[in-house]
Amino acid sequence: MSDGELKVSKIKNGTVIDHITAGMAPAVLKILGIEQGCHDTVIVAMNVRSQRLGLKDMVKVENRVLEAETVKKIAIVAPHATVNIIKDFAVVQKIPVELPQELIGIVRCSNRNCITNIERVTSYVVVESREPLRLRCHYCETLIEGPYASVLLL
Amino acid sequence: MVQGPKLDWRGKDIISIRDLSREHIEDVLYHAQQIRPDPNLLQGRVMASLFFEPSTRTQLSFATAMQRLGGRVIGFSGTESTSIAKGESLQDTVRTVEKYADIIVMRHPLEGSARLVADTVSIPVINAGDGANQHPTQTLMDLFTIKKFHNRLDDLKIGLVGDLKYGRTVHSLAIAFTRFRKIQLRLISPPNLRMPPSVLQELTGIVSYSETDQLDLSDLDVVYVTRIQKERFPDIEEYEKVKGAYVITPKVCETLKPTAILLHPLPRVDEITPEVDTLPQAKYFEQVQNGVPVRMALLKLLLLGA
Q: Is the pLDDT of residue B129 over 80?
A: yes
- Whether B131 and B157 map to the same domain: the answer is no
Mapped onto helix, strand or coil, the DSSP state of residue B294 is helix
Tell me the mean pLDDT in the region B210-237.
Answer: 88
B16 interaction partners in chain A (CB closer than 8 Å): 141
pLDDT, tens only, A80-104 = 899 999 999 999 999 888 888 999 9
Of B22, B1, B46, B30, the residue nearest B301 (C-alpha): B30
What integer pLDDT is reported at residue B86 of this predicted model? 75
**Predicted pLDDT of residue A147:** 74
B18 inside 8 A of chain A by CB? yes
In this structure, the answer to whether residues B120 and B146 fall within a common structural domain is: no
CB contact under 8 A, B131 and A113: yes
Distance CA B97, CA B50 (A): 9
What are the structural domains, with CATH classification, of chain A?
A: 14-96 (3.30.70.140), 102-152 (2.30.30.20)
Please answer yes or no on whether A139 and B112 come within 8 Å at the CB atom.
yes
Distances (CA, A) of B217 to A128, A135, B187, B214, B253: 36, 36, 11, 9, 8
- Chain B residue closest to A110 (CA)? B111
Whether residue B147 sits in one domain with residue B122? no
Q: With CB atoms and an 8 Å threshold, state whether A140 touches B130.
A: yes
Does residue B65 sit in the same domain as residue B125? yes
Instruction: Check residue A9 and give its pLDDT.
Output: 82
pLDDT confidence of A150, banded at 50, 70, 90? confident
Number of domains in chain B: 2
The verdict on residue B235 lying in a domain is: yes
Helix/strand/coil for B93: helix
Q: Are residues B21 and B126 in the same domain?
A: yes
Residue A116 with chain B: CB contacts under 8 Å: 112, 116
In tens, the pLDDT along A49-68 reads 988 878 999 999 999 988 88
Q: How many residues does chain A have?
A: 154
Mean pLDDT, chain B, as a whole number? 93
Residue B8 falls inside a structural domain: no
Provide the 10 A C-beta neighbour count for residue B177.
25
Residue B12 domain-assigned (yes or no)? no
B13/B301 Cα distance (integer angstroms) = 10
Specify the CATH number for the domain of residue B22: 3.40.50.1370
**DSSP run (H or E) holding B119:** helix B113-120
Are residues B285 and B277 in contact, defined by beta-carbon separation less than 8 angstroms? yes
If asked whether residues B141 and B267 sit together in one domain, one would say yes
Residue B40, domain member (yes or no): yes
Q: Tell me, what's the pLDDT at B61?
A: 97
Element (H, E) at A147: helix A146-149
Q: In this structure, is residue B11 part of a structural domain?
A: no
pLDDT tier at A6, thresholds 50, 70, 90:
low
Q: Could you tell me the pLDDT band of residue A37, with boundaries at 50, 70 and 90?
A: confident
Q: What is the pLDDT of residues B22-47, one digit of tens each?
A: 999 999 999 999 999 999 999 999 99
Q: Are residues B143 and B265 in the same domain?
A: yes
Suggest the residue from B19, B108, B116 to mutate for an interface test with chain A (most A CBs closer than 10 A). B116
Domain range for B216 is: 136-288
**Residue B227 in this model has a pLDDT that exceeds 80:** yes
The full DSSP string for A100-124 is -SEEESSB--S-TTBGGGTSS---E
Q: Determine the distance in angstroms separating the CA of B53 from the nearest CA of chain A, rounded to an integer.
A: 15
Helix axes B291-304, B22-34, angle to 10 degrees: 110
Residue length of chain B: 306
Tell me, what DSSP letter sits at residue B177? Answer: G
User: Across residues A120-144, what is the average pLDDT?
Assistant: 93
In this structure, the answer to whether residues B204 and B109 fall within a common structural domain is no
Min Cα–Cα distance to chain A from B133, Å: 6
B109 CB neighbours in chain A (<8 A) are 113
Q: Are residues B176 and B68 in the same domain?
A: no
B111 to A120: CB separation less than 8 angstroms, yes or no: no
Instruction: Note the pLDDT of residue A91.
Output: 94
Residues B96 and B223 in one domain: no
Mean pLDDT within B247-275: 94
In-domain check, residue B7: no
- Over residues B14-29, the mean pLDDT reads 96
| Inter-chain CB proximity A120 and B89 less than 8 Å | yes
pLDDT of res. A5: 57
Q: Which residues of A touch B89 (CB under 8 A)?
A: 119-120
Cα–Cα distance for residue pair A96/A17, rounded to 1 Å: 11
B143 and B269 share one domain: yes
pLDDT of residue B270: 85
Q: Is residue B10 part of a domain?
A: no
Asked if residue B213 belongs to a domain, the reply is yes
Do residues B256 and B145 share a domain?
Answer: yes
| Cα–Cα distance measured from residue B107 to residue B127, given in angstroms and rounded to the nearest whole number | 6
Single out the residue of B196, B198, B189, B279 nearest to residue B225, CA to CA: B189
